Structure 1
Amino acid sequence: MFRATTLGSTEKRIKVLVIDDSALMRHVLSEILSSDSGIDVIGVASDPYDAREKIKRLNPDVLTLDVEMPKMDGLQFLKNLMRLRPMPVVMVSSLTQRNAAVTLEALALGAVDFVSKPEIDIASKLKEYASEIIEKVKVARLATVTQLVDDGAILGRKHSTSILSVAKTSNLHFKTTDQIIAIGASTGGTEAIREVLERLPIDTPGTVIVQHIPGMFSGPFAERMNKCSAMTVCEAQDGQRVLHGHAYIAPGDSHLSLRRDGARYYCVLSDHDPVNRHRPSVDVLFNSVAQYVGKNAVGVILTGMGKDGAAGLKAMREAGANTVVQDEASSVVWGMPGAAVALNAADEVLSLTKIPNKIMALYQEKRP
């Protein structure tokens, strides 16, 4: 859908239009973004109709867009925008169950990323995340966004409800697994993970996933993935047994790792300090897979900012696991995959569309 490259120092300042019905949010976001010398807040808009006119007149590079808006909600505005004038968008969402689902839908429609806004004491608490907000806007500026043709083309549903209902009752769910698929992702990862999961068959080995995402969002994200995958996808629970045909997504504020008991693997959740600024951390998961699964694992790093997962993937490779990373051309941000390549942690670098088939090919090779 979009990808990011490195912005040169000679590039002009990023022009941002802030769209939010709250005067306080417009002020705080404008103040935060304007504090960076590489960003110019060229205007604010209080509703989508106001925003539409200012987009035509001001030609911004990036929009920040509130999920809940008067006159037209943020999701409908985003759909219209991506059909008629696609551009990088960072969603601004409150940490609520409803807004989590809407924000995930926005990412599916083409939004590059999202910022979580606090429910109380917005001015001071939002400023605590100033560097993150600035970073996300800068990354969004580098995204190449494609036009939205229709909902189906973006959402890419491949399974009807009836097919899924049959598949998810398969007795494969009651088999143990001696192989593990471990996946890590960050920016752009919610859609990259979807594209992988919807192409993996019901007989996929137990799959454990870390996506950098807030706690309120991981449950709805798991539910969304369950609807588009032949596998059973859930938010991981501490002590949960890893089964064939199942995928387990790390809760948004807990590290996920594996432990082994005989031929069985179990999920382990912890609230230990963040690693690489993240909890959950991909490195935490991958290091445990390297230790307990070794050569019977496949490690995958998808699109994402930073370097989380690179060292863990190298540990997996050194333990005999097969390792794959997403290529730069199909990544939103080639930070995590690029860091893994730089560490010589990847056996192969593949486009997103080729990764699911590669996972299954490696699984078949490992079968006794």
Structure 2
Amino acid sequence: MKSIKVMIVDDSAVVRQVLSAVLSADTSIEVIGTAADPLFALSKMERNWPDVIVLDVEMPRMDGITFLKKLMAERPTPVVICSTLTEKGASTTMQALAAGAVSIVTKPQANLSKFLVNASDDLINAVKGAARANVRQLLKGKVAESPAAVAPKLSADAILAPAQGAMTRTTERIVAIGTSTGGTQALEYILTSLPRVCPGIIIVQHMPERFTAAFAERLNGLCQIEVLEARHGDRVMPGRALIAPGGRHMLLKRSGAQYVVEVVDGPPVSRHKPSVDVLFRSTARAAGANATGIIMTGMGDDGARGLREMHDVGALTFGQDEASCVVYGMPKEAMKLGAVSREIPLEQIPAYVLRSER
């Protein structure tokens, strides 16, 4: 099988060395070069173009955002942003995702040796996912391999039990959305298309801690509806979208006549935290047939089982179609399980968010 050729661009020699060591440990990845800044990288890439670029965003001579925009305009190539876990880093990374980056991995500001142990799977999987991404679809705006066996892959049982019995039908509807690779651009398209009056929306987008706050803030400035990073006890209400915070699971709960979210800790489910499976299962339990579930672009199978549980209690369930996905992984797995009532292209999803008939 052909190896994935990777170029690492970071102004820190130590970071370049560590990232190179992490990626080279996987036999399916070949690090073909490293560079201290985009100008050095371009001269090397002209001789041997990579399949994936791992890119820092804050560098001398040419910053990562400028380089990314140039790259996407001239020769679109999958890019994984490697950013520090800081408020400034999160804000800049949102610009990178908007410019066409596929996904994010975080790097520590210190203790890089610990990174080798704790985050190597995240980096390897991000590169593998990026290698499969349809970058041209990502840029149109219409829009990992399984990690090494270091821990069991948990189901939503680790957080809450399956739904029991049927939920009484009500007039208030909840829309639950799950997505991963390519999802930031897809969610921007959907949420900016919605009018101020729309059902309450709950979202899991696979994204590291702190980055979800910057993502929600950016969307809130672009949309007619209110977009927030969810806090424990926040009410799900018409005209509001709540995004699960990175590093926490989000569950839907019924509180009297209202819906609220619980933000809880716990182990990764389907190797993710937040997990789409957890969100969808909790929605099946709390809202039943009063909900709509939508699974979108992303690598892996998180959300497939939870969407099937929503389907089985009478919820409307939709999957993003292959043609409009950046990575047709999560919707494909949901289709295999019979969880998806209908596949639809990204440009039609806003209309399905608003619909209430069966």
Give your verdict on TM over 0.5.
yes
SS in 2 for 1:215: coil
Show the 5 A alignment for 1:290-329. 290-329=284-323
Aligned to 2:335: 341
Deviation at 1:329, TM superposition (A): 1.7
The match for 1:279 among 267, 273, 279 is: 273
Instruction: Give the RMSD, CA atoms, in angstroms.
Output: 2.0
In 2 relative to 1, CA 275–84 (structure 1 residues): closer, same or farther, beyond 3 Å? same
Verify the 8 A CA contact 2:134 2:327 in the aligned structure 1.
no
Q: How many residue pairs were aligned?
A: 332
> Partner of 2:215: helix, strand, or coil?
helix
Residue 135 (structure 1) aligns with: 125
CA pair 275-75 structure 1, distance change in 2 beyond 3 A: same
Q: What's the TM-score once normalised by structure 2's chain length?
A: 0.88
Q: Residue in 1 aligned with 2:159? A: none
The separation in 2 between residues aligned to 1:36 and 1:249, in whole angstroms, is 33
Partner residue, 1:207: 201
CA deviation digits over 1:208-258, x for unaligned, max 9? 111111111111111111122211111111112211111111111211111
- Between the aligned partners of 2:79 and 2:37, the Cα distance in structure 1 is 15
Deviation at 1:135, TM superposition (A): 1.9
| Deviation of the 1:120 alpha carbon | 1.2
Residues 1:192 and 2:186 are matched in the alignment:
yes
Q: Which residue of 2 aligns with 1:32?
A: 22
Q: 1:239 aligns with which of 233, 242, 245?
A: 233
Mapped contact 1:235–1:251 kept (Cα < 8 A):
yes
Please tell me whether the aligned partners of residues 251 and 283 of structure 2 are also in contact (alpha carbons under 8 angstroms). Answer: yes
Identity %: 50
- Kept in 1: contact 2:196–2:239 (CA 8 A): yes
Decide whether aligned partners of structure 1 residues 36 and 120 sit closer, same or farther in structure 2, where only a CA change above 3 A counts. Answer: same
Aligned-partner Cα distance in 1 for 2:277–2:134: 28
The answer as to whether partners of 2:175 and 2:291 remain within 8 angstroms in 1 is yes
Could you report, residue by residue, the CA deviation over 1:294-346 in whole angstroms, capped at 9, with x for unpaired residues? 11110001111221111111111111110001112211222211111111000
1:6-155 aligned at under 5 Å gives the runs 9=1, 12-146=2-136
The 2-side partners of 1:256 and 1:322 are apart by 20
Query: What SS is found at the alignment partner of 2:81?
Result: strand
Gaps of 5+ in 2: 144-169
Structure 1 CA distance for aligned equivalents of residues 59 and 24 of structure 2: 23
- The aligned counterpart of 1:266 is 260
Q: Which runs of 5+ in 1 are unaligned?
A: 1-8, 157-175
Name the CA distance, whole Å, in 1 between partners of 2:137 and 2:126.
21
Code of the aligned partner of 1:231: I
Seen in structure 2, the aligned counterparts of structure 1 residues 107 and 310 have a Cα distance that, compared at 3 Å, is same
More deviation in 33-42 or 317-326? 33-42
Per the alignment, do residues 320 and 278 of structure 1 end up closer, same or farther by CA in structure 2, a change over 3 Å counting?
A: same
Listed one character per residue, the Cα deviations across residues 168-221 of structure 1 (whole Å, up to 9, x for unaligned) are xxxxxxxx9721011111111111111111112111111111111111111111
